[in-house]
Amino acid sequence: MPHFLDIHTTDTDDLTTMIAEARRMKDARAGLPKGTPDAEQPLKDHMVALIFEKPSTRTRVSFDVGVRQMGGQTLVLTGSEMQLGHGETIADTARVLSRYVDLIMIRTFDEAVLHELAEHASVPVINGLTDQSHPCQIMADMLTFEEHRGPIRGKKVVWTGDGNNVCTSFLHAAGKFGFDLTFTGPETLEPAASAMAFARDAGSKVVIERDPAKAVEGADLIVADTWLSMHDAQSARERRHNQLRPYQVNEALMQANGNKALFMHCLPAHRGEEVTSAVMDGPNSVIFDEAENRLHAQKAIMRWCLGR
């Protein structure tokens, strides 16, 4: 079953094929009104379940619109409606949903939920985000970088701030797409050791550099993410800010790079915290191209899952 569960567990050739397909579909839509269906309808007569244990804006809208553009229909289910694993088991939920729909996307907390769902589903399952990884976002990021700067292989990416689930998927992508990654952030918030080991074992250079100005020297891409997850307690706010304030992406940091690197953020961003508005709205920022490309990358992922 061609599940899309993580970048590091997906064949490299398949990943590059998805990126190429996303670009092809995006080009085919150039100039069309937003609501226009794709000329090709690979999901015609297909039903896609979108499960959200975690709330979402970009993931929900981009998957919903993508399915509709490709001729399919969506069934959106929230955590309060599903209560996965509370009552009916995840395995039984997977078996039941597989009788009704052709594809399942899930955005959840515990990665074990994703893997149990995939293990027992008889239709493809897509990882829309877990606490451990966010592969759909990074596929959009790979598409965005290559649109602006060409192949990412051999380039230097700098992740600044918290080595969270998005950072984990960036490290997985480093190993698969052949770029190097420097992490600059506090020791207490370093990326998962397993993700760093994966990238290094694949031949990518992974560096920890506490000084952000040194970290961004020669970087082709600088990436930040929110300092607080939507589910973090308010009591963690001041502690997190004290730890991460030196790693804010601001005009001075971009100047330390020579203003050569692109800037990415998966959004939503807290302006004036992890990044300043001057950087977000500046000439190096590609954050809204990145947000749009969630749509195109995920359409390619869905087509790949369904063999289309």
Catalytic residue chosen out of the listed positions 136, 167, 266, 305: 266
Known active-site residue 298? no
Cα within 13 Å of Cα(138), Cβ side: 29
Per DSSP, the three-state class of 300 is helix
Cβ-based neighbours of 243, under 8 Å, separated by 6 or more: 186, 188, 189
Q: Which residue in the block uniquely carries the two structure tokens 């500046």?
A: 282
| 7, 289 Cβ separation under 8 angstroms | no
Known active-site residue 92? no
Task: Give me the residues paired with residue 125 across strands.
Answer: 104
Element (H, E) at 141: helix 135-149
Closest among 135, 128, 144, 141 to 60, alpha carbons compared: 128
The Cα–Cα gap between 81 and 263 comes to 37
Signed CA dihedral, 216, 298, 52, 174: sign only: negative
Closest among 141, 150, 147 to 170, alpha carbons compared: 141
Known active-site residue 134? yes
Catalytic residue chosen out of the listed positions 132, 225, 265, 296: 225
Q: Which residue in the block uniquely carries the two structure tokens 């993508």?
A: 66
Catalytic residue chosen out of the listed positions 46, 120, 265, 294: 294
Catalytic residue chosen out of the listed positions 69, 132, 137, 248: 137
Known active-site residue 83? no
Catalytic residue chosen out of the listed positions 58, 120, 134, 172: 134
* Distance from the Cα of residue 300 to its chain's centroid: 14
Backbone torsions φ then ψ of 157, nearest 5 degrees = -110, 135
Known active-site residue 107? yes
Residues annotated catalytic, as ranges: 107, 134, 137, 225, 266, 294
